Structure 1
Amino acid sequence: MKFENTGIEGKTVQFSVLEHIAGSVGLFRDGHWDYERATYDYKFENMVTGDVFYLRVPSVAIEGVVEDSAAIMKLGVPYIGKHYYPHGVEYEDEEFPEEIIKASNDILKQFEELLEKAVV
C-alpha cells in the first residue's frame, strides 16, 4: 500500500539531515541501502499475533553517495508491507490493520513537518 500525497515524495534533503530527521520519528536505514539509494523503515510488530509490518520511505542520492554527509537525497512515495517469514515483505493485496495505517500516517506527518524546515 502506498501513501500518496504525503508531501514527502520528491523532496530533497541533505543526507546527514535526513538521517537525523528520520531517526527522530523512528525511521531507520539499518541495512537497507547501497551507494545510490536508501530505504528508511519503521517496524510495527504485534507481540500477540507475531505479525510484522514495515512502513518504508525510499530515497535516492541525486548528488553524492549514501553515507556522504553532504549528499543530496530525493525522497520517494512511502509505502507499507507485511513481512512473511521466510519469504520477505509483501506489498500488494494485503490487509493492513487500521491502527497501523493511522500510526503510519501520524509518523509520515511528523516526518513531513520536520522535512519542511530542512528541504534543500
Structure 2
Amino acid sequence: MKFEKTGLENLKADLNRLDEVMSDHGLVREGQWDYDRVTYDRLFDLKEGRYYLRIQGYTVEGDVGAHKAVIQLMDPLLGKHYYPHGVEYGEGEHFPKTLVSQCEKLLSDIKSKIEPFAQQ
C-alpha cells in the first residue's frame, strides 16, 4: 500500500537529521542503504500478521556512506510480511484499518519534525 500525498515526498533533508527523526519514531535504517539510497523500516507485529512501514529516499547530494548526504524522500509504503517470501505491498493486500490510521498519524508526525530543517 502506498501512502500518497503525505507531503513527505516533497521533502529533502540532511541524512543525519533524518536518522534522528526516524529513530525517534521507531523507524530504523540499519544496513539498508547504499551510497545513493536509504530505507527506513518499522515493524508492526499484530495478531493479523507482521507489517512493515517503509520510507525510502535517494541521494540528491553527497554520499550516504560518508554520512554527508541530502536525501529526497519518496512515498511511504505499508507491506505485509509472508514467510519465507518477503514483504508484499500490493493493492490486493488487506491492511487493518487501525494499522493504517496509526501509520498515517506517524507519517504526519514525522513530516512535522522534518519540515523545519527540510531543504528546498
Give TM class, smaller chain.
Answer: over 0.9
Give the 3-state SS of the residue equivalent to 1:33 in structure 2: coil
1:76 corresponds, among 74, 77, 92, to 74
Tell me how far apart the structure 2 counterparts of residues 106 and 75 of structure 1 sit (CA, whole Å).
17
Query: Unpaired segments of 5 or more residues in structure 1?
Result: none
2:31 matched residue in structure 1? 31
The CA deviation at 1:66 is 1.2
Summarize deviations over 1:46-88 as a string: whole Å, max 9, x none: 2x45x10001111101111114333111000001100000000
Summarize deviations over 1:2-48 as a string: whole Å, max 9, x none: 111111003100111110111111111123211110111111002x4
Tell me how far apart the structure 2 counterparts of residues 19 and 67 of structure 1 sit (CA, whole Å).
13
1:119 matched residue in structure 2? 118
Higher strand share: 2
Note if 1:102 corresponds to 2:114: no
Give the 3-state SS of the residue equivalent to 1:71 in structure 2: strand
Tell me how far apart the structure 1 counterparts of residues 115 and 62 of structure 2 sit (CA, whole Å).
22
| Alignment check: 8 A CA contact 1:15 1:68 kept | no
Partner amino acid, structure 1, of 2:102: A
Give the 3-state SS of the residue equivalent to 1:9 in structure 2: helix
The CA deviation at 1:99 is 1.0
1:3 matched residue in structure 2? 3
Percent sequence identity is 38
Alignment size in residue pairs: 118
1:53 matched residue in structure 2? 51
Runs (4+) of structure 1 moved beyond 6 Å? none
Note if 1:64 corresponds to 2:62: yes
Query: Over aligned residues, Cα RMSD in angstroms?
Result: 1.1
Partner amino acid, structure 2, of 1:60: Y
